[in-house]
Amino acid sequence: MTADTPPRLTSLGRALAALAVLAVAIGIASVTIVLSSDHTSSRGFAAALILIAGWGFVGTGLYAWYRRPGNRTGVLLTAVGFTWFFQALESSDNAAIFAIGAIGINLPFAILIHLLVAFPSGRLEGRLQRTVVAGAYFVTVVLQWLWIPFVNPERQGCEGCPENPIRIEGQEGVADAVNAVQTAIAIPVVAATIAIIYLRWRRSPPSERRVLTPVIATGALAFALLFVLLVLDPAGASDGAQRAVFIAAVAAFACLPFALLAGLLRSRIGRDEELRSALTAENEQLTSELRAKVEELRASRARIVEAGYAERRRVERDLHDGAQQRLVALAMSLKLARSRLEADPQTSAELLDEAIAELGETTRELRELARGIHPAVLSDRGLEAALGALADRSPVPVEVVGTPPERLPAAVESAAYFVVAEALTNVARYAEAEAASVELGREDGALAVEVADDGVGGADPTAGTGLRGLADRVAALGGELRVESPPGGGTKVRARIPLDG
């Protein structure tokens, strides 16, 4: 599956690598703090518990984050790992660091609850799940902050702990009250967490259950061992028994991230949802791209149709203002000559001479007009001859090079011809150029056309209809038209017209 293929080392990969380095540094610092503590019992085991679980959570979290960036479980695992190191700060002999540890020490358990409730999709669904997770954070963040100023570590049974640097003296009662509220909220939160996980496990199909079972079993074992460990000491159990349970708890917590990771990677629910959301996102992008393309095509088609109408109006106007006016005048001259034929043969002859000259002009104009509609030389003799004729008529000297000698598809020849014709017309009208060049060439199955001049530049291809219409015409053949016209730097019109249509 493509969703499981690790992506190349991207910016995400680099960021995660930096987090891994940070976790190694924090882990080493934590071990140093714990081992040098003068108020922590079983320093070696405490350091081992912190290091194995902390690195285990961060390592598996970063791996899950990298493999499944769309699933929040990796982020949460990593967060559990980093906050796990708060425990080490509580071993510090420095009062400020000790206090920071006391503030953050319970946070990883809230994140763990968040993670387990949201597992394996990484998303919270429904009001119950959100309420439970919000309760966990409320207890471990808000109430923890409220609790800290009133705590006297010595009274909590910690011998050799540093003083609470922000302690408000003589308010132990407040600390106890906050502690009681924490417990009162924590109990239903933990119970609800267990219920949510159990119900999810119950409702899962057998295939899914196989994935969830190790996660839930490991998590339950870890929390149960922690609970047993907490009650053993007040119950007066032997050091050996406490030690054995402690080692088992270390092992269970160290296993938990790996069980979660295995569950996450094997989970079909998470993967399907992720695939679906990835596909949906891709779909949406494709749809919007398609919509933009359709819109562009619609606009270009409308412009082509409009250009067609505009062209017909131009032809009508040219015919009306040109040939038709001349023919009308011609008819009047002939009528006049006819009426004067006997009375004034001299004037009649003059009128007839004028009529003949007028007729020649009319013929020339009609020929010009017809060439604007479709140049006969192009269909009869091909692009080379047609471009040569365009160059000959241009008032600015034009050099034409590279025209393919063979015949090309009619649509390509025609588009190339009109690109050159329009560009040369613009050169003559606006460029104030000394010379222009037309260069053609075949490039990767396309005809490349470039018309360049040494004039004043500064042409705006979007301003006039001529180049815009040509761009649409070239685009209709799957090609493209570009205009480069820096002020003072001449103008280059480049078209690329695919030969296979």
Partner 1 sequence: MPTSVLIVDDHPSFRLSARRMLEADGYEVVGEVEDGSGALIAAHELAPDVVLLDVQLPDLDGFEVAERLEEAGATAAIVLTSTREAADFGARIGSSPVRGFVSKGELSGAAIAALVG
Q: Is 282 one of the binding residues for partner 1 (CB under 8 A)?
A: no
Q: Is 349 one of the binding residues for partner 1 (CB under 8 A)?
A: no
Q: Is 333 one of the binding residues for partner 1 (CB under 8 A)?
A: yes
Q: Is 43 one of the binding residues for partner 1 (CB under 8 A)?
A: no
Pairwise CA distance, residues 306 & 300, whole Å:
10
CB nearer partner 1, residue 326 or residue 494: 326
Q: Is 331 one of the binding residues for partner 1 (CB under 8 A)?
A: yes
Name the 3-class secondary structure at 492: strand
CB nearer partner 1, residue 282 or residue 321: 321
Name the 3-class secondary structure at 265: helix
Q: Is 329 one of the binding residues for partner 1 (CB under 8 A)?
A: yes
Q: Is 318 one of the binding residues for partner 1 (CB under 8 A)?
A: no
Could you tell me the smallest distance in angstroms from the CB atom of residue 340 to partner 1? 7
CB nearer partner 1, residue 340 or residue 468: 340
Could you tell me the smallest distance in angstroms from the CB atom of residue 354 to partner 1? 9
Pairwise CA distance, residues 62 & 22, whole Å:
12
Q: Is 315 one of the binding residues for partner 1 (CB under 8 A)?
A: no
Determine the length of the chain: 501
Q: Which two tokens stand for residue 119?
A: 């597992």
**Which listed range, 255-263, 330-338, 399-407, 460-468, lies at the site for partner 1 (CB under 8 A)?**
330-338
Indicate which single residue of 291, 298, 312, 335 sits in contact with partner 1 (rule: CB under 8 A).
335
Q: Which two tokens stand for residue 394?
A: 């241009």
**Which listed range, 86-94, 229-237, 334-342, 395-403, lies at the site for partner 1 (CB under 8 A)?**
334-342
Q: Is 352 one of the binding residues for partner 1 (CB under 8 A)?
A: no
Indicate which single residue of 199, 297, 328, 349 sits in contact with partner 1 (rule: CB under 8 A).
328
Q: Is 339 one of the binding residues for partner 1 (CB under 8 A)?
A: yes
Could you tell me the smallest distance in angstroms from the CB atom of residue 464 to partner 1? 21
Whole-angstrom CA distances from 8 to 14, 63, 261, 282, 477 are: 10, 14, 21, 19, 38
Q: Is 365 one of the binding residues for partner 1 (CB under 8 A)?
A: no
Indicate which single residue of 272, 282, 296, 321 sits in contact with partner 1 (rule: CB under 8 A).
321
**Which listed range, 68-76, 177-185, 248-256, 328-336, lies at the site for partner 1 (CB under 8 A)?**
328-336
Could you tell me the smallest distance in angstroms from the CB atom of residue 331 to partner 1? 6
Q: Is 325 one of the binding residues for partner 1 (CB under 8 A)?
A: yes
Pairwise CA distance, residues 115 & 83, whole Å:
14
Q: Is 320 one of the binding residues for partner 1 (CB under 8 A)?
A: yes
Cβ atoms < 10 Å from Cβ of 62 = 22
Query: For 5, which DSSP code?
Result: S
Q: Is 358 one of the binding residues for partner 1 (CB under 8 A)?
A: yes
Q: Is 191 one of the binding residues for partner 1 (CB under 8 A)?
A: no
The residues, ordered by sequence, that sit 6+ positions from 446 with a Cβ below 8 Å of its Cβ are: 479, 496, 497, 498, 499
Pairwise CA distance, residues 52 & 313, whole Å:
84
Could you tell me the smallest distance in angstroms from the CB atom of residue 307 to partner 1? 23
**Which listed range, 44-52, 149-157, 332-340, 377-385, lies at the site for partner 1 (CB under 8 A)?**
332-340
3-state helix, strand, coil split of the chain in percent (to 5) is 70, 5, 20
Specify whether the CB–CB gap between 150 and 178 falls below 8 A: yes
In DSSP terms, which residues pair with 450 in a beta bridge? 439, 494
Could you tell me the smallest distance in angstroms from the CB atom of residue 359 to partner 1? 12
Could you tell me the smallest distance in angstroms from the CB atom of residue 323 to partner 1? 10
DSSP string, 122-191: T---HHHHHHHHHHHHIIIIIHHHHHGGG--TTTTT-TTPPP-TT--TT-HHHHHHHHHHHHHHHHHHHH
The residues, ordered by sequence, that sit 6+ positions from 148 with a Cβ below 8 Å of its Cβ are: 99, 102, 103, 164, 166
Q: Is 336 one of the binding residues for partner 1 (CB under 8 A)?
A: yes
Q: Is 166 one of the binding residues for partner 1 (CB under 8 A)?
A: no
**Which listed range, 115-123, 235-243, 272-280, 333-341, lies at the site for partner 1 (CB under 8 A)?**
333-341
Q: Is 326 one of the binding residues for partner 1 (CB under 8 A)?
A: yes
CB nearer partner 1, residue 148 or residue 337: 337
**Which listed range, 115-123, 187-195, 210-218, 321-329, lies at the site for partner 1 (CB under 8 A)?**
321-329
Size of the site for partner 1 (CB under 8 A): 16
Pairwise CA distance, residues 175 & 187, whole Å:
18
The residues, ordered by sequence, that sit 6+ positions from 172 with a Cβ below 8 Å of its Cβ are: 150, 152, 155
Whole-angstrom CA distances from 266 to 200, 263, 269, 440 are: 16, 5, 9, 60
Name the 3-class secondary structure at 480: strand
In DSSP terms, which residues pair with 443 in a beta bridge? 446
The contact set with partner 1 (CB under 8 A) reads 320-321, 324-326, 328-329, 331-333, 335-336, 339-340, 351, 358
